[in-house]
Amino acid sequence: MAAFVAIRVLHVVLAALWLGAGVFTALFLFPTLGDSAPGSNSMFAALMRRRFGVYMAVTGGLAVLTGIWLYWRFTGGFSAATIGTTSGIVFGIGGLAGIAAVAIGGAVIGRSADKMAALIEQAAPQSEIEALRQRALGANRVVAALMILAVVCMAAGHYV
């Protein structure tokens, strides 16, 4: 029982940290980089040097892994009978949303952010950086919506 509680708490904390950072990047970071404010590109490059991408990958990945373990435990080893219940379906939808968020985050946002940081360091033309920023921003909005869906499902799963 202690392991279950510890993993559940870890899952909730990781999801909260990941969601907060994801919403921050979708609503504030990537849109701000589009402003022509002096230093916005160098601020982004510095953020990436401080391993923000690694932070997002680790918190998202561990949130998903702990969530899979919790779902496995909730469903009694992925029992079809439990998965088919309303709670099983709601938790399953939330889990799939989280998995999709991690996949899109790594494949699109992470790669775009890494390329942006490299282009900024090389003093590449702003048009190249802007194209990547737009790609990352669009994906980030989708990922933020998936993260919110996952959190809503996790919060409601036991009560439906």
pLDDT tens figures, 121-136: 998 988 999 999 999 9
Q: What is the pTM of this model?
A: 0.93
Q: Mind listing the pLDDT tens digit for each residue in 130-159?
A: 999 999 999 999 999 999 999 999 999 999
Q: State residue 82's pLDDT score.
A: 97
For 124, the domain range is 2-159
Residue 90's SS3 state is helix
The count of structural domains within the chain is 1
What ranges in 25-110 are assigned the alpha helix state H? Answer: 30-34, 40-49, 52-74, 80-83, 86-104
Q: Mind listing the pLDDT tens digit for each residue in 26-41?
A: 999 999 888 766 678 8
